[in-house]
Amino acid sequence: MNHDSYPDSYIRGILNTVKTVAMVGFSPNTARPSYFVFKYLNERGFKVIPINPGHAGKEFLGQTCYASLSEVPEPIDMVDIFRAPQFVVPVVEEALKLTPKPRVIWMQLTIRNDEAAAMAEAEGLKVVMNRCPKIEYGRLSSEISWMGINSRTLSNRRAQNLGGGFQRMGLGDGRKPGE
Amino acid sequence: MADAERTPGFDTLAIHAGAKPDPTTGARATPIYQTASYVFDDVDHAASLFGLQAFGNIYTRIGNPTCAVLEERVAALEGGTAALAVASGHAAQVIVMQTLLMPGDEFIASKKLYGGSINQFNHAFKSFGWNVVWADPDDISAFERAITPKTKAIFVESIANPGGTVTDLEPIGAIARKAGIPFIVDNTLASPYLCKPIDFGADIVVHSLTKFLGGHGNSIGGIIVDAGTFNWSRDKKYPMLCEPRPEYAGIVLHETFGNFAFAIACRVLGLRDLGPALSPFNAFLISTGIETLPLRMQRHCDNALAVAEFLSKHPSVAWVSYGSLPGDKYNALAKKYVPKGCGAVMTIGLKGGYEAGVKLVSNVKLFSHLANIGDTKSLIIHPASTTHRQLSDQQKTAAGAGPDVVRLSIGIEDVADIIADLDQGLK
Ligand SMILES: Cc1ncc(COP(=O)(O)O)c(C=O)c1O
């Protein structure tokens, strides 16, 4: 995988298939970016599990916080890492010891660690670095376009409403499978 | 586009960027969302929107889906990360500066600017405590010399109004980068079809949409484009972007919104609090206008060059200032920055002075005598007897509006008719 730029189909494929996301480096401070992403993805139908040893056992938006990935009592599809690059390798090492293994390692905007990425890819995981899943979801669902942001997508199909409200869009591209 | 991996060309973006079919009705043209406000899905949704945790619409002063189409389109055409449309080009400048400057701060501006901007900077902005320092774009080192610890930005026009003169963007951008301040380019006269200032170091691009982007002289509007290139947190000089905002429970906009934080700051602080929102109807007209920008702009340039060549040989004309004209003082810069043409606007000097200027604007039959540029129609103005009337002759000349000067904005009519009208008007 070339980690300088990702095809939209790669990102869409990931966000369309993962359900349970463990967020390492979650902050309970509601003004922090990790909290924004946590709340947004939860509101878009993902189950986001906060990981933060300082807050283990507490609940945030109905989700129990755990001290580490290995303590999460259910399978994790994707690990979203909000830690500085030098702390990423141990997180990925821990993720690779889980059974079942997560399918995706995601490192947040500004975070990139090629060594960790190579470890995960060697085990067959998909990796995304230096991207924000909230921004990518907003871009590919067209929600972000409401804020005048350049989604870098064009389409002759309408954006798909997710249901449960007017301003929640889904990730379908308006095409039937195989179309 | 099914094949999202292909990078669309400029003409495709001019038509499609921002404008997917309407999600609710499938309408293919962009609907005019003529509404002041939007219902919340529920209390949580409202809280998320007000807290900037969700993308969406609250109230048309802050955002509107029709305006958003225009914003995404211009952002895409300029190669920026995001944009914010506002009520006028002047409003765009107010919001940019209010986001960057605190009272007592300075910014450096090119001396060659639209007269209205010179007024805005000299008077209105000074009353806010934002102090302009003027620099001559023909002497790049003047920008470097003008930098002080209080300088927060550099502002220039890519092609300057009225002159037909071209600004050497790249070295000025390098001076801004070295000083750690953003480089703002007003790209109104060029439009992104002729020049993309972000490619030459601009961090922020502004437009009067009233001109070539709208293109038909029917709507006032302005826009701010965020290039996504500036590091707002590095020197902690821009508190609107790098400090916790009390307006939003302590969030830091740059940390939260990354490379489109400037556009968000302009929206959720500047536009929200100062208020000059664009009407959705104007946004509709302007984004429809942009669909033909590449066609119109090329025709404007082709016609303008033919007119400039004709006038430069005309016995009643002393000089023509138009960058694309071979031998023009700005020809080398025009070749670099606007190779497809130097736009529609030029100034000419008449041998007969003030009287000849008055006579020409009275004699023309196709050109409209008015204070605007960037219409499909050819436009003419004699600044000395209109916009610059109150100045002394000396001040007029310094402003590039001497008694002999006439400004033309060449339209997209048949060029033979445009030339014939000027020829008969000069007799
Ligand atoms: C280069 C330039 N910038 C800004 C403006 C101001 O724009 P508006 O009239 O839309 O406020 C103009 C208007 O003539 C202009 O020519």
pLDDT for B362 equals: 97
> How far apart are the two ends of chain B, measured CA to CA in Å?
55
Contact between chains at B55 and A9 (C-beta distance less than 8 A): no
Is there a single domain that holds both residue B253 and residue B337?
no
Q: How far is the CA of B89 from the centre of ligand 1 (A)?
A: 5
Contact between chains at B5 and A150 (C-beta distance less than 8 A): no
Which chain A residues are Cβ-neighbours of B75 within 8 angstroms? 148-150
pLDDT for B1 equals: 41
> How far apart are the two ends of chain A, measured CA to CA in Å?
26
User: Residues of chain A with pLDDT > 70: what percent?
Assistant: 98
B283: Cα separation from own chain's centroid = 15
Is there a single domain that holds both residue B182 and residue B214?
yes
Which chain B residues are Cβ-neighbours of A44 within 8 angstroms? none
- Summarize pLDDT for A16-60 with one digit per residue, the tens: 999 999 999 999 999 999 999 999 999 999 999 999 999 999 999
Question: What would the two tokens of residue B47 be?
Answer: 């809280």
Are the CB atoms for B314 and B364 separated by under 8 Å? no
Domain count for chain B: 2
- Tell me if B185 CB under 6 Å of ligand 1: no
The CATH code of the domain that includes B103 is 3.40.640.10
User: In terms of C-beta distances under 8 Å and separation of at least 24 residues, what long-range contacts does A163-166 make, across chains too?
Assistant: A164/B41, A165/B41, A165/B42, A165/B45, A166/B38, A166/B39, A166/B41
Is there a single domain that holds both residue B314 and residue B259?
no
pLDDT for A163 equals: 85
Q: Say if B375 falls within a structural domain.
A: yes
> Of B251, B271, B289, at which residue does a domain stop?
B289
> Of B235, B264, B289, at which residue does a domain stop?
B289
Domain ranges of chain A: 8-137
Q: Give the ipTM.
A: 0.94
**CATH code for residues A8-137:** 3.40.50.720
Contact between chains at A33 and B255 (C-beta distance less than 8 A): yes
Is there a single domain that holds both residue B270 and residue B388?
no
Are the CB atoms for B223 and B210 separated by under 8 Å? no
Q: Say if B3 falls within a structural domain.
A: no
Is there a single domain that holds both residue B300 and residue B358?
yes
Is there a single domain that holds both residue B266 and residue B387?
no
pLDDT for B165 equals: 86
- Phi first, then psi, for residue B246 (nearest 5°) are -60, -25
- Phi first, then psi, for residue B306 (nearest 5°) are -65, -40
pLDDT for B2 equals: 43
Q: How far is the CA of B139 from the centre of ligand 1 (A)?
A: 24
Which chain A residues are Cβ-neighbours of B26 within 8 angstroms? 158
Cα gap B208→B228, rounded to integer Å:
20
Pick from A9, A148, A151: CB nearest B83:
A148
Strands B368-369 and B151-157: unpaired
Would you give per-residue pLDDT tens digits along chain B (427 residues)? 444 478 999 999 999 999 999 998 999 999 999 999 999 989 999 999 999 999 999 999 999 999 999 999 999 999 999 999 999 999 999 999 999 999 999 999 999 999 899 999 999 999 999 999 999 999 999 999 999 999 999 999 999 988 778 999 999 999 999 999 999 999 999 999 999 999 999 999 999 999 999 999 999 999 999 999 999 999 999 999 999 999 999 999 999 999 999 999 999 999 999 999 999 999 999 999 999 999 999 999 999 999 999 999 999 999 999 999 999 999 999 999 999 999 999 999 999 999 999 999 999 999 999 999 999 999 999 999 998 888 788 878 877 789 999 999 999 999 999 999 999 999 9
Mutate to test the pocket of ligand 1, among B93, B94, B211, B375 (most ligand atoms within 8 A of CB): B211
Which chain A residues are Cβ-neighbours of B6 within 8 angstroms? none
Q: How far is the CA of B90 from the centre of ligand 1 (A)?
A: 6
List the 221-260 stretch of B: residues with Cβ below 8 A of A. 244, 248-252, 255-256, 258, 260
Pick from A143, A153, A164: CB nearest B4:
A153
pLDDT for A175 equals: 77
**A100 CA: distance to closest CA in chain B (Å):** 32
Is there a single domain that holds both residue B65 and residue B190?
yes
| pTM tops 0.90 | yes
Q: Say if B1 falls within a structural domain.
A: no
> Of B270, B289, B308, at which residue does a domain stop?
B289
Residue among A111, A47, A41 at smallest CA distance from A81? A111
pLDDT for B153 equals: 98
Q: Say if B4 falls within a structural domain.
A: no
Strands B204-208 and B222-226: antiparallel
| A176 class by beta-carbon count within 10 Å (0-12 exposed, 13-18 middle, 19+ buried) | exposed
Q: Is the dihedral of CA B340, B337, B5, B294 positive or negative?
A: negative
Which residues pair with residue A63 across a beta bridge?
Answer: A60
Looking at ligand 1, which residue's alpha carbon is closest to its atom 8? B89
Cα gap B403→A113, rounded to integer Å:
65
Q: Which domain range does residue B71 map to?
A: 9-289
Is there a single domain that holds both residue B263 and residue B311?
no
Cα gap B269→B257, rounded to integer Å:
14
Q: Do you know the residue count of chain A?
A: 179
- Tell me if B210 CB under 6 Å of ligand 1: yes
Q: Say if B83 falls within a structural domain.
A: yes
Put simply, whether B401 touches A (Cβ < 8 Å) is no
The CATH code of the domain that includes B320 is 3.90.1150.10
Which chain B residues are Cβ-neighbours of A147 within 8 angstroms? 55, 63, 68, 82, 260, 263-264, 267
User: Residues of chain A with pLDDT > 90: what percent?
Assistant: 88
Is there a single domain that holds both residue B140 and residue B207?
yes
Pick from A158, A169, A173: CB nearest B21:
A158
- Tell me if B165 CB under 6 Å of ligand 1: no
